[in-house]
Structure 1
Amino acid sequence: MNKELIINSAPTGVEIALLEDKKLVELHQESHDASFTVGDLYLGKVKKLVPGMNAAFVDVGFEKDGFLHYTDLSPYVRSLLKFTAFSISDKSEGISDFSKFQTEAEIIKTGKIGEVLNGKPNILVQILKEPIAAKGPRLSCEISLPGRFVVLTPFNDIVAVSRKIHSSDERKRLQKIVESIRTKNFGVIVRTAAEGKNTAELHEDLNNLIAMWQQIQHNLKNAVAPAKILGETDKTTSILRDLLNADFNRIVVNDKNIYNDALNYIQKVAPDKADIVTFYQNGSPIFDNYGITKQVKASFGKTVNLASGAYLIIEHTEALHVIDVNSGYKSVSANQEENALQTNLEAAEEIARQLRLRDIGGIIVVDFIDMKLPDNKRKLAEAMEEFMRADRAKHAILPISKFGLMQITRQRMKPEVNINTQEVCPSCNGTGKVSSTLILEDEIEKNISYLVMQKHKELLIAVHPIMEAYLRKGFPSKRMKWSWKYKQKIKVKANTAYHLTEYHFFDNHEEEIKL
């Protein structure tokens, strides 16, 4: 599989498109004024304890307080609180050498929030989920610092290896290496990208993360909550850190600074792949040149068409997302069951792509075309698992229910990517309903009657040209009938700037009469 990263720098921010075999699968947007991104570290102030929810609300500087549940406190939260207090007061004698830091006892899984955060202390927290809708950010005290090959987790001595590394010999090798190079009080999670790497590469990555932890300690000195202590790396670098592998064959950037940053990062972590980074200088927009704009227009919206003629309907509610699969005019077989299976398999592949592309999280319910055979339902469920294997977000897929529905949960990390590919109709203002001519005619006459009662003389009605032709049509015309009925001189004038059902009244001084 060929992977390409196309990065478009615009005045409002940076757009990053991930292509797999020329097909758009992820679209990331980073605003220049973005804050509270996943991974950021903040010094927060506990504002309110809610025993009924076993949670706390923490002020991290956002308009809505962040939400911190007991399950996100981390077993080592007492050590974190001690470290935070020491760092703020600059008691460097207690933490100058973090390997000598005296950790506190772990908290129990079934404890109460008030037992841990009594006194409403300042606490170091990490953004777990970005603010969504009217909710503040979701917070965690399980601090983790991700690197290219390893993730650093302070206050413990646990070494874990990614389950995606299947070779038991390789897992043992990596475990042994990390055990030998890590220092006390630093737990380490070995990432999938570490497979096949040598001790020097892993040691360098680990040292960089330890230096980052020391920077956090320095930034905490004399800090006043709420305060940002350490920001996650920019979106481009974080995506490269998480996705870069042997399949990547091109990174194209249209901004010189981002190009230099990406090139420096690649030269640092994978010098042999530095030549895949190129600077785009063509005159046309970079997304247009690589066909991304066209794919965005075709992929976002309520209806998503598939190559065969089948299509998806994607609806969103506050609680969940619903996807309906329709066969359209697709027919691959005279057998209805086989036709349903093939359509469902094609739809499943596109649904997996849509979930990544729009970054849809939470509960997703998919209404596939009904199939009768259990074997076909099993094939569809297995195919969906395979299609979603490339998705980095945590997800779970349930078998198709007796109602023919598949339920999917997907980790919600940030607001859904929602690109509007339609404009509001100027005539109906998005309601999908336009007044008929007869109803509009009655509405205008009702207003004429009211204005005559208000002693207005010589009324002028400005309308759309089509409506003007309708009111002047025939003898006697509708305009003439109104003049005779209300014993009032009534004129009609066309205005091409009006939409079909728009009209306004003017007096004999050509001043608009506000109704």
Structure 2
Amino acid sequence: MNKKIIIDANFPSETRVVLLGQSNNIEDIEFQTTVRQQNKGNIYLAKVTRIEPSLQAVFIEYGMDKSGFLPFSEIHPNYYNLPTSERNFPVNAFPEIALSNITVEDDKEKPAAIYDSLVDSEEIDLKTIEDLVESKFQSELNLEAADDIEMIQSGTPESNIPQYKQYKVQEVIRKNQILLVQVTKEERGNKCAAFTTYISLAGKYCVLMPNKGSQNGISRKISNGEERKRLKDILNKIVSGDKNAYSVIVRTAGRGSSTLDLKKDYNYLARLWNKIRKSTIKFPAPCFIHEEDSIIRKTIRDMCDHNVKEVVIQGQDGYEDASKFMQDLLPSELVKLKEHKSKTPIFTKFQVEEQLVKLYQPVVTLPSGGYIVINPTEALIAIDVNSGKSTSEQNIEETALKTNLEAAKEVAKQVKLRDLSGLIVVDFIDMSEAKNRKIIERSFKEFLSRDRARIQTGNISQFGLLEFSRQRLRSSFLETNSAICSHCNGKGVIRASDANAMLILRTIENEIFEERIDVINVFTNIVSVLYLLNNKRAEIKFIEEKYNIKLNFYSDPNATSDSYSIEKVKLFKKNNNNFNSVKPVIQNHNADYTEEELKKEQLRKNKHKWKTANNSNNVANEVKDKSLEAEESVEQTVSVVEEVQVVESNAGLEEAQAAPKKTKRRYRNKTSNKKCPSNTVEDTEKNAES
């Protein structure tokens, strides 16, 4: 098949890759942005920060103050802190769960693409499908039974259970211990990234697993027995010549590869691992050790095979990176590499942009007139199949069968393009014949077989539902390229205008019932305001007359479609020229004064209280208005006291006591002359003290 790989690397901030099939239809898509970097596959030198016995896991710090989750099952036994007497058990005695999930040692043959012609064709022939299913039905049942026996035999029988202690994470792992880890799952929301200590390095034809011991394997998708035997012999020859004896798994792309290709790929990965191992000695933990290949290199490594006719790249830097990588790893494929130098955008030239825009839409049309609707939810992804305008068949059963076949092919394509993962439920059109349901099941499984993700499928239930689960490889297309709507907050719907208007009126009535209010101001969007004033006049008037209240509606440009705010106003009314205002029980008049104002207020109050003593008639005179003059008067009074106290000592005690008496008599005799009275010593002292 003549496929094309189109790479748009014109902008440094974003790189997009698509795999085009017949008629330039998108079969796969990859994209990478600088805003959302993908960490899956990266290798870090991490440090254990916390051990959780309840989870049997540890939390690690791997750089940039980020924490990761590492299950105990993903910690290699070489990291266990064991007593000396228990350190000699074989490494391969530990169950290799991760390895058994992706490899298999079996020479039994599987059918190698029963429906290849069906998957690649644009139109679906019902008769061809029926013949293929009936001819392969019995053989597939036998193969499925063989797979079940294989899984049982590949397990760990009781006779092979290693005799070693079953450790717990808190017993063998210590805090601040250094681990070399690799990201297996990206961060998602509040969940931190997941890690493993079983490092794997992917090449073009094989995967190197340096700390798995010598456990070689072959991909399940290579089903031919002779081919599997040939690849197994090549692996044994390559590994036996290497003193390190790393584990190697042959990928699906290794089907038909020569000994030289596998040997070259193995040596490339071995050199990469040695480079990583040396880097762990140079830098302290936590630190970043190895970055997974860029999206351009991964695309060439994983997608470029004998079916790809050419690789076209727009962008000078991207082209040079791809050229260098292909010279090192795939020199024979270098002739397929081309640079797009036209001014026309590369995705526009190959009609790719129009197809990418459709990935944002939930509805996908089918060739016969039907359509499918994709609805992601929190628990699962629901896909509904509808016949629509499909009327080409003679009866309902044939129409349902053809529409379901088209839907099965399109669903397999859409889950791959949109990166849908988790539990997915497809609601096919009901079919009465069991044979037709079996056709849909077999066809759907074959359509999904070309997906890189691990997929488990079920059968069509009595309600017409087919359930299947898909491995999460990365974030979905919508998660990466969309944001939550600011109007509906991600709900996808808003309240209708009438429902929103009635909700506002009911809220107003509840507020009036709870508290006596005179005026209510409502702030909402312009659409709701116009709807209330044009369609709810009677209800507004009813509330105003019933509760003797005034309603005002204002437009708020910041309000969303179904949001509003209410302001309550209470007016003070006069009754017999007296305000009916509530007075506090305790009034603190000084609370409103500043410190400076309090001093001025105190001077004003003391203005009428200051008095001077009159020795003749004891009459009090008012203090002068200005505070400065009052202070001068006090100073004069104090000076009289000082003069009396500083009488010379040679005058004797009697003279000192007689002096103020004479002064007192003198001022008393002169009162008739209306002179300013003078104070005695005693009066002066009292005045000074006040």
TM over 0.5, shorter chain: yes
Paired residue for 2:441, among 381, 387, 391?
381
Q: Is the 8 A contact 1:463 1:504 kept in 2?
A: no
Q: Report the equivalent of 2:371.
A: 311
Q: Is the 8 A contact 1:78 1:106 kept in 2?
A: no
SS at match of 1:43: strand
Q: Are the structure 2 counterparts of residues 116 and 238 from structure 1 closer, same or farther at C-alpha, using a change threshold of 3 Å? A: farther
SS at match of 2:292: coil
Q: Is the 8 A contact 2:495 2:562 kept in 1?
A: no
Q: Is the 8 A contact 1:78 1:104 kept in 2?
A: no
Task: Tell whether 2:109 aligns with 1:53.
Answer: no
Q: Are the structure 2 counterparts of residues 468 and 114 from structure 1 closer, same or farther at C-alpha, using a change threshold of 3 Å? A: closer
Q: Report the equivalent of 1:18.
A: 19
Q: Distance in 1 between matches of 2:171 and 2:525?
A: 69
Q: Are the structure 2 counterparts of residues 104 and 501 from structure 1 closer, same or farther at C-alpha, using a change threshold of 3 Å? A: closer
Q: Map of 1:155-234 to 2, 5 A cutoff?
A: 155=211, 156-182=213-239, 183-184=242-243, 185-234=245-294
Q: Is the 8 A contact 2:484 2:490 kept in 1?
A: no
Q: Distance in 1 between matches of 2:482 and 2:301?
A: 30
String of CA shifts for 1:465-505, please: whole Å, max 9, x gaps.
Answer: 997799699xxxx99xx9xxx999x9x99999999999999
Q: Is the 8 A contact 1:36 1:127 kept in 2?
A: no
Q: Is the 8 A contact 2:525 2:558 kept in 1?
A: no
CA RMSD of aligned residues (A): 4.4
SS at match of 1:350: helix
Q: Distance in 2 between matches of 1:137 and 1:428?
A: 25
Task: Tell whether 2:187 aligns with 1:127.
Answer: no
Task: Tell whether 2:291 aligns with 1:241.
Answer: no
Q: Map of 1:258-337 to 2, 5 A cutoff?
A: 258-337=318-397
TM-fit CA distance, 1:336: 1.6
Q: Report the equivalent of 2:423.
A: 363
Q: Distance in 2 between matches of 1:454 and 1:375?
A: 74
Q: Are the structure 2 counterparts of residues 62 and 408 from structure 1 closer, same or farther at C-alpha, using a change threshold of 3 Å? A: farther
TM-fit CA distance, 1:225: 2.7
TM-fit CA distance, 1:328: 1.6
TM-fit CA distance, 1:176: 2.6
Q: Is the 8 A contact 1:4 1:248 kept in 2?
A: yes
Q: Report the equivalent of 1:416.
A: 476
Q: Are the structure 2 counterparts of residues 430 and 163 from structure 1 closer, same or farther at C-alpha, using a change threshold of 3 Å? A: closer
Q: Are the structure 2 counterparts of residues 311 and 64 from structure 1 closer, same or farther at C-alpha, using a change threshold of 3 Å? A: farther
Task: Tell whether 2:91 aligns with 1:105.
Answer: yes
Q: Report the equivalent of 1:4.
A: 4
Q: Report the equivalent of 1:78.
A: 77
String of CA shifts for 1:134-165, please: whole Å, max 9, x gaps.
Answer: 21112122211111122111131222233333
Q: Map of 1:333-348 to 2, 5 A cutoff?
A: 333-348=393-408
Q: Distance in 2 between matches of 1:495 and 1:137?
A: 42
Q: Distance in 2 between matches of 1:170 and 1:132?
A: 40
Q: Are the structure 2 counterparts of residues 408 and 193 from structure 1 closer, same or farther at C-alpha, using a change threshold of 3 Å? A: same
TM-fit CA distance, 1:26: 2.3
Instruction: Give the TM-score of the pair, scaled to structure 1.
Output: 0.78
Q: Distance in 2 between matches of 1:487 and 1:361?
A: 56
Paired residue for 1:69, among 71, 75, 84?
71
Q: Distance in 2 between matches of 1:421 and 1:455?
A: 40
Q: Distance in 2 between matches of 1:163 and 1:178?
A: 16
Q: Map of 1:467-478 to 2, 5 A cutoff?
A: none
Q: Report the equivalent of 1:136.
A: 192
**What is the aligned residue count?**
482
Structure showing the higher strand proportion among its residues = 1
Q: Report the equivalent of 1:44.
A: 46
TM-fit CA distance, 1:442: 6.2
Structure 1 residue runs of 5 or longer lacking an equivalent are: 83-101, 506-515
Q: Is the 8 A contact 1:427 1:499 kept in 2?
A: no
Q: Are the structure 2 counterparts of residues 79 and 103 from structure 1 closer, same or farther at C-alpha, using a change threshold of 3 Å? A: farther
- Amino acid aligned to 1:8: D
Q: More displaced, 47-56 or 132-141?
A: 47-56
Q: Is the 8 A contact 2:297 2:322 kept in 1?
A: yes
Larger Rg: 2
- Amino acid aligned to 1:16: V
Q: Are the structure 2 counterparts of residues 128 and 443 from structure 1 closer, same or farther at C-alpha, using a change threshold of 3 Å? A: same
Q: Distance in 2 between matches of 1:430 and 1:193?
A: 42
Q: Is the 8 A contact 1:332 1:342 kept in 2?
A: no
TM-fit CA distance, 1:406: 1.1
Q: Is the 8 A contact 2:518 2:549 kept in 1?
A: no
Q: Distance in 2 between matches of 1:410 and 1:503?
A: 42
Q: Is the 8 A contact 1:68 1:140 kept in 2?
A: yes
String of CA shifts for 1:74-112, please: whole Å, max 9, x gaps.
Answer: xxx123679xxxxxxxxxxxxxxxxxxx99634644944
Q: Is the 8 A contact 1:302 1:313 kept in 2?
A: yes
Q: More displaced, 172-181 or 247-256?
A: 172-181
SS at match of 1:53: coil
- Amino acid aligned to 2:39: T
Q: Are the structure 2 counterparts of residues 426 and 136 from structure 1 closer, same or farther at C-alpha, using a change threshold of 3 Å? A: closer
Q: Is the 8 A contact 1:36 1:137 kept in 2?
A: no
Q: Is the 8 A contact 2:501 2:532 kept in 1?
A: no
Q: Distance in 2 between matches of 1:299 and 1:425?
A: 22
SS at match of 1:261: helix
SS at match of 1:126: strand
Q: Report the equivalent of 2:658.
A: none
Q: Distance in 2 between matches of 1:39 and 1:202?
A: 22
Task: Tell whether 2:315 aligns with 1:255.
Answer: yes
String of CA shifts for 1:435-471, please: whole Å, max 9, x gaps.
Answer: 249759969999xx9xxx8899xx9x99969977996
Q: Distance in 2 between matches of 1:140 and 1:487?
A: 68
Q: More displaced, 196-205 or 129-138?
A: 196-205
Q: Distance in 1 between matches of 2:49 and 2:231?
A: 43
Q: Distance in 2 between matches of 1:237 and 1:148?
A: 10
Instruction: Give the TM-score of the pair, scaled to structure 2.
Output: 0.60
Q: Distance in 1 between matches of 2:418 and 2:561?
A: 36
TM-fit CA distance, 1:245: 0.7
Q: Distance in 2 between matches of 1:35 and 1:374?
A: 47
Q: Are the structure 2 counterparts of residues 114 and 500 from structure 1 closer, same or farther at C-alpha, using a change threshold of 3 Å? A: closer
Aligned identity (percent) is 30
Q: Is the 8 A contact 1:348 1:384 kept in 2?
A: yes
